[in-house]
Amino acid sequence: MGTCSCSTQTEQDCSNVSQSDNTKEKTFSILLKHWQSSLSFIMLAAGLAADFWSGFSWFTDSVRLFWYSAAYIPVGLPVLRQAWVHLRKGEFFTEFFLMGIATIGAFYIGEYPEGVAVMLFYSIGEAFQHNAVSRAKNNIKALLDVRPESAHVKRDTEFTTVHPGQVAVGEIIRVKPGERVPLDGELLSERAAFDTSAITGESKPRHINGNEQVLAGMINLNRVIELRTTRLYENSSISRILDMVQNATKKKARTELFIRSFARIYTPAVVFLAVLLVVLPVLFVTPYVFEDWLYRGLVFLVISCPCALVISIPLGYFGGIGAASRNGILVKGGNYLDALKSVDTVIFDKTGTLTKGSFAVQSVHSNNGDVNRMLSVLRSVEQNSIHPVARAILDFTENGIKNDHLEILTVSNQKEIPGFGIYASVEGRDVIIGSRSLMEKENVAIQNGFKTDEKGSIVHVAIDGVHYGYLIISDELKEDAKRSVKRLKESGVKRTVMLSGDRDEIAQRTGKELQMDYVFGDLLPEDKAEKLVDFKKRFPGTVAYAGDGINDAPVLALSDVGIAMGALGSDVAIESADVVIQTDQPSKIATAIEIGKSTRTIVWQNIGMAMGIKILFLTLGALGIATLWEAVFADVGVALLAILNAVRIQKMKFA
């Protein structure tokens, strides 16, 4: 590294010198890493200069053979070694075998420079391909691998810094301003602001209130906060997300699988054609010159190498998965990217997907006027539930508990039925809390005066088989819910459907506001599954389902593409889904579809470009027009063009 004195040069001059030194270091590092290619290139260039410079009379045939052999060895031996390894496994038709035969053949007919050039540029192309694939994988990992290596945990009366893996569930940790949250936890401080971009892709700060969930990977923005951990380090949200994305590359799209199968047939076929190209002309061509036809066969082999297809297509899917991750969308495999591009029908769950899922109690109605007794029963039963409605009831009754207006009663034999409600025994009395359907199922007569025109969901309460009263609980649409439906239509989705367990009149009102094509309410989890199966039978094409709750897991699994809302969604839904929207924004579904379509377009561009150019040059090679130099372009050049096209998706911007 060079140095400069800022007393004699400006700070800008120092910066320029430092940047120049960094550039030199990087250049030297690249040359050192690829010393074989660098050495071969220098020797090839020197050999070509000696060939075309009349003053080098000492550069005789024997010297030329020695010189070009020495230039060939650094880049040729690794490839020949790989060819031998594959040959021992019975894999004859690999790109290593093709390049080995082609370059050794070139030496056999005296085309030493071309033999070295083919192997040199093949090695350079392979290095570019390897670096491009590694960069794509690392970019995906870097987007999410932001897990802190330390946590400040309270042990006895002091905070000790330990690895997050050493923190148990229920311990209290402290996070300073600017630090990443190391573990999922419940916020003990009153309120805090977080940068959630590592998880959601959104740069807008998110404000979280006390007792709400904070996820590992978020950055604390304003003041020292404390959390009570709710998950172990290895089970934290960011760890699970990272694992999902890393495993995504293992799930291949049908195009990838087809190209791999195609290459297994294509490569031996072109080797056979190359052999025919060398030997058949002896029957038809006079005079037959073996070296000339061998040269054409070698050109044919070099051109036919399927590297551009085999490398650039997976790279296109890596790029698509990375682009989705940057937008807060986790796609669990290239096969789901392929499926997204052909989605014709999107079916939404309502609560937590199109609405915020943050319910609030609007009104309370008791048949005998004893509102406090009904609320005490509700509070006592719902405090053990994780349903959003339960949270709304607990929030509503909080002041009553603090001011001793309400009491906590003894609850036993509690049983929650998803989509229906809760059964429980409260101080010896049978209590049922839930929907009208549950009341009808248990033959509970709804009392007169029950209003059905109020806007919101209705939670009924029955004690010892008698209707005691009900609550009106409402939810509101997410800010981008309307825009999400509009964008889906613009992106080519033909049908939008909403399924809800809410009253049908509420579902219809919400669906009309969102301009949904089909709306169904009063549905149980099994009813949603039946509706999805019905839509798959009625309409051709791919059906996607978007949901967030435990009761959505079966429907997510049944759909062609299951989409889960990741921030508020349940663990079961996230695990069952194929795509996870980390921002909880339904409009991201349209973004995912756009990324799927862009990825597919780029992949087929690469296939068309690679096959088109190869067929052209194979024809030219067979006719004796193309040389090994053109063959290098048709192989390595096309592979590099395909790689550049594949990584283009990582630079694209999506709405």
Residues with a catalytic annotation lie at 349
Contacts of 483 (CB under 8 A, 6+ apart): 587
Provide the b/e sequence for 418-429 (b: ≥16 CB within 10 Å). ebbbbbbebeee
Contacts of 32 (CB under 8 A, 6+ apart): none
Do the Cβ atoms of 246 and 207 come closer than 8 Å? no
Instruction: Please tell me the chain's helix, strand, coil percentages from 3-state DSSP, rounded to the nearest 5.
Output: 55, 15, 30
Per-residue DSSP letters for 352-395? TTTB----EEEEEEESSS-HHHHHHHHHHHHTT--SHHHHHHHH
Question: Residue 184: exposed, middle, or buried by beta-carbon count in 10 A (0-12, 13-18, 19+)?
Answer: buried
Strands 411-417 and 360-366: unpaired
CA distance 124 to 113: 16
Q: What token pair was written down for 448?
A: 């007169």
Contacts of 59 (CB under 8 A, 6+ apart): 50, 51, 67
Question: Residue 51: exposed, middle, or buried by beta-carbon count in 10 A (0-12, 13-18, 19+)?
Answer: middle
End-to-end CA distance of the chain: 44
Do the Cβ atoms of 255 and 603 come closer than 8 Å? yes
Contacts of 180 (CB under 8 A, 6+ apart): 146, 147, 148, 198, 216, 217, 218, 219, 220
| Angle, vertex CA 205, rays to CA 200 and CA 206, nearest 5 | 75
CA distance 569 to 381: 23
Do the Cβ atoms of 400 and 368 come closer than 8 Å? no
DSSP, collapsed to helix, strand or coil, labels residue 226 as: strand
β-sheet bridge partners, residue 519: 498
Do the Cβ atoms of 321 and 534 come closer than 8 Å? no
Provide the b/e sequence for 144-162 (b: ≥16 CB within 10 Å). bbbbbeebbbeeeeeeeeb
CA distance 500 to 507: 6
β-sheet bridge partners, residue 432: 423, 462
Q: Give me the amino acid identity at 105.
A: G
